Amino acid sequence: MRVIKKEDFKEFVNLLIGDDTKEVVGVKAKGGKFVYDELSSADELRLDFDVTVLSPKKYFMPPVETLLRYDLSSDFKVEPVNEVTPLIIIGIHPYDLIALQQLETVFRDTYPDANHLLKLERSILIGTNMQNVSPHSFAASMGTATTRYGYDLMLTDIGDSYYIEIGSDRGEDLLERYARVSKPDKTHEQRFESVINGIESKFQKALNFPPEELPSILARTYDSKLWAEKAEKCLSCGSCNLVCPTCYCFDVQDVTELNLRRGERIRTWDGCLLEDFAKVATGENFREDRASRYRHRFMRKGKFLYERFGFIACVGCGRCASGCLPDIADPVEIYNTLKEEAL
Amino acid sequence: MTRENITIYTPRPATIKRIEQMTENEKLFEIALDDNMPLGHNPGQFVEVSIMGIGEAPISISSPPTKTDGFELCVRAVGNVTKAMHAMNVGDKLGIRGPFGNGFNTSMLKGRDLLFICGGLGFAPMRSLINYVLAYRRDYGEVAILYGCKRPCDLLFADEVRRWKSMDGILDHHLTVDEVCEGESWEHDIGVITTLIPKTKFDPETTYALVCGPPVMYRYVIKSLKERGMPDDHIIVSLERRMKCGLGKCGHCQINSTYVCQDGPVFVYSEIKDLQEAL
């Protein structure tokens, strides 16, 4: 554990920005919302954010990512591509850190995906405990409002300083090289404890039951009328998929340059709510109606991936709830209603 | 920016050795990997075929693993990649990833009687298993083959299929088409494939049915087999789904928590009969 005075923290961030070995990314205000973006000065950093529009997933699974480069002017010329920009990301809330851990598990499973894993390996994650909470978030009830793992450093605002938990040697090394820190004294420890203990009370929304019950609740509500009722309004736009920190489905396409010689095979974010998601070339669509696609997403988050990987793939960030135009995507509302139905 | 040279998405270069027009819409491609390695597949597995600039598509392997100097893909021109494949010539290069999926459990099937039920292009992966079984004929019990397609002109591997009709070691063999158009000759059955099941010689107690066909076919075939008294764990199906990666990542082939590309495409019916969306 360390403590850093706020003015020293600014200097720390500015030193990181000044060092060229890694690009420094942090939470910035943009158009009344918060986003992760490259920092040009510590003054831009807003650690008081409630939630960002997109999660830091975008750095480890970019919306558009080159997998291969090909050259059509010779017989068969294909070059694997794994473009990695080493990052220091400052200001990741615990639920997003847990989401990144889940993605790592998925991409490490059976066939390790170097395009994802190398980006993660080369980056330093600096978390921050929540000062403000989005009105849609229910992370506390998902057990994701705080975390003891998944970060290199974790910051907690304790007034005139940040309390720093060290999660890795890399994190410790970073502090040693760039930061003026001290050991926390008793007052710091007390302030830290009180901040952590106060986080849960900031949430306006909560799951009414322990998240471990979700898989069995969903097993009993597969045929619920709720799916069709809600999906009636679904625009099949996939916004819930795009803002989700744990959605990782992707499409793969070849994009050839206008010279028709060189091109790239890219992967792009895909979404299971989109109409064509399960459609094959013959026209058969294995999830043709909106209700089955809508249900699939909630089932996947609360049951399917749990069965495969052992985690509930919803971290309670509430981004889907705020991103859904017809307002049918709020997992808390769906899951709490299903809990009642499953009784 | 740094680059790493190992990725799971990199296809291996391969060359088209032979192309055979099978029907109006289907061609057979014999392909060899440029490193001359055998593909090393099990019957029922698939590969991801890359045509750079067009894309990648999952295609089931039609040849048995006993053929090692290349492998065969029976391809219907229906999507971007398959249409582009149909425009290719002998000597052209394409990319191969895989083989992927589980394939048929050939050791579990040893000593069992086998009933192959194939509909349309579902014959393509099944041909790999049938030829495998015929190559190791004495390891298996009785063999019966049912194959249905839309019209006589849609019959795949027609010469091979007709040869099986008179082959020793094949207990029963029926072909059927949905319709015969004017001017076409057809000396076999007419009607959907389920009409063949009641008249086929097999003992439901000792026989394993291997089923592959268009999505609509499974429910009816399984019903007919159960009417003959076949237990659920004797029915083995191969399922089709949309796929991108073949590696359990992209999410497209998911049936609930099951990934068809990894856990399938071959499933024992008793294990998926309660799996919603499967059939």
Neighbours of B277 (CB within 10 A): 17
- A277–B242: do the CB atoms touch at under 8 Å? yes
Of all residues in chain A, the percent with pLDDT exceeding 70 is: 100
Residue A21 predicted with pLDDT over 90: no
Please name the member of A83, A113, A272 whose beta carbon is closest to the beta carbon of B249: A113
* Selection from A245, A220, A265 nearest residue A323 by Cα: A245
> Which residues in B lie closer than 8 A to residue A214 (C-beta atoms)?
none
Cβ <8 Å between B52 and A222? no
Rounded Cα distance, B230 and B95, in Å: 41
Contact state of B3 with A222 under an 8 Å Cβ cutoff: no
Mean pLDDT to the nearest integer, A102-122 = 96
Question: Which of A25-34, B22-31, B101-110, B157-166 is the least confident region?
Answer: B157-166
Kindly report the nearest CA distance between residue B25 and chain A, in angstroms: 12
State yes or no: pLDDT of B7 exceeds 90.
no
A51 within 8 A of A134, measured Cβ to Cβ: yes
The rounded distance, in Å, linking the Cα atoms of B123 and B108 is: 21
User: For the CA atoms of chain B, what is the radius of gyration?
Assistant: 19
- Of B225, B178, B217, which is closest to residue B200 (Cα–Cα)? B225
Question: How many Cβ atoms sit within 10 Å of the Cβ of residue A16?
Answer: 23
Q: What count of other Cβ atoms lies within 10 Å of the Cβ of residue B3?
A: 12
Show residues of chain B in contact with A251, CB under 8 Å: 244, 250
Q: Residue B19: which pLDDT band, with cuts at 50, 70 and 90?
A: very high
For the cut 60, the answer to whether the pLDDT of residue A134 exceeds it is yes
Question: How much is the mean pLDDT over chain A?
Answer: 96
Chain B residues whose beta carbon lies within 8 Å of the beta carbon of residue A304? 254, 256-257
SS3 per residue for chain A = CEEEEHHHHHHHHHHHHHCCCCEEEEEEEECCEEEEEECCCHHHCCCCCCCECCCCHHHHCCCEEEEEEEECCCCCEEEECCCECCEEEEEECHHHHHHHHHHHHHHHCCCCCHHHHHHHHCCEEEEECCCCCCCCCCHHHHCCCCCCCCCCEEEEECCCEEEEEECCHHHHHHHHHHCCCECCCHHHHHHHHHHHHHHHHHCCCCCCCCHHHHHHHHHHCCCCCHHHHHHCCCCCCCHHHHHCCCCCCEEEEEEECCCCCEEEEEEEECCCCCCCCCECCCCCECCCCHHHHHHHHHHHHHHHHHHHHCCCCCCCCCHHHHHCCCCCCCHHHHHHHHHHHHC
Lowest mean pLDDT among A21-30, A108-117, B4-13, B213-222: B4-13
Do residue A263 and residue B53 have CB atoms under 8 angstroms apart? Answer: yes
- The confidence score (pLDDT) of residue B3 equals 44
Query: Which residues in chain B have their CB less than 8 angstroms from residue A250's CB?
Result: 244-245, 249-251
The Cα of B220 is separated from the nearest Cα of chain A by a number of Å equal to 17
CB contact under 8 A, A68 and B10: yes
**In the prediction, which pLDDT does B1 show?**
38
Phi/psi for B76 (5° steps) reads -90, 135
Per-residue model confidence (pLDDT) at position B235: 98
Q: For residue B9, list chain A residues with Cβ-Cβ distance below 8 A.
A: 67-68, 80, 115, 252, 265, 267
Residue B168 — very low, low, confident or very high, per pLDDT cuts 50/70/90? confident
Q: Is the pLDDT of residue B2 over 50?
A: no
Residue numbers in A near B277 (CB within 8 A) = 286-287, 292
Residue B182: pLDDT above 90? no
* Interchain pair A248, B52: CB under 8 A: no
User: Which band of pLDDT confidence, cut at 50, 70 and 90, is reported for residue A298?
Assistant: very high
Round to whole Å and give the CA distance between A176 and A170.
10
Judged by CB atoms closer than 8 Å, whether chains meet at B4 and A80 is answered as yes
Any idea which residue has 């989700």 for tokens? A244
CA of A23: which chain B residue's CA is closest? B1
State the pLDDT at residue B252: 95
Query: pLDDT, tens digit, for every residue of A162-185?
Result: 999 999 999 999 999 999 999 999
Closest-CA distance, B12 to chain A, in angstroms, reads: 9
DSSP B42: P
Cα dihedral B131→B137→B143→B146 (10° resolution): 10
pLDDT the model gives residue B229: 96
Q: What is the pLDDT of residue B165?
A: 84
Range of weakest confidence among B26-35, B166-175, B183-192, B238-247:
B166-175
Do strands B26-33 and B12-21 pair parallel, antiparallel, or not at all (unpaired)?
Answer: antiparallel
- ipTM, two decimals, is 0.91
Give every strand in the sheet of A153-157, ordered side by side. A2-5, A161-166, A153-157, A124-128, A87-92, A23-30, A33-38
Chain segment A274-289, per-residue pLDDT in tens:
999 999 988 899 999 9
Our measurement of the distance from residue A290's CA atom to the centroid of its chain's CA atoms, rounded to an integer in Å, reads 25
Q: What is the pLDDT of residues B78-95, one digit of tens each?
A: 999 999 999 999 999 999
Q: List the structure tokens of A203.
A: 């949430």
In chain B, the domains with their CATH numbers are 12-99 (2.40.30.10), 113-238 (3.40.50.80)
Residue B72 has pLDDT above 50, yes or no: yes
What's residue A74's pLDDT?
Answer: 86
Tens of pLDDT, residue by residue over A59-91, are 999 999 999 999 999 889 999 999 999 999 999
Yes or no, beta carbons of B53 and A115 under 8 Å apart: no
Residue B4 pLDDT > 50: no
Cβ within 8 Å, pair A277-B95: no
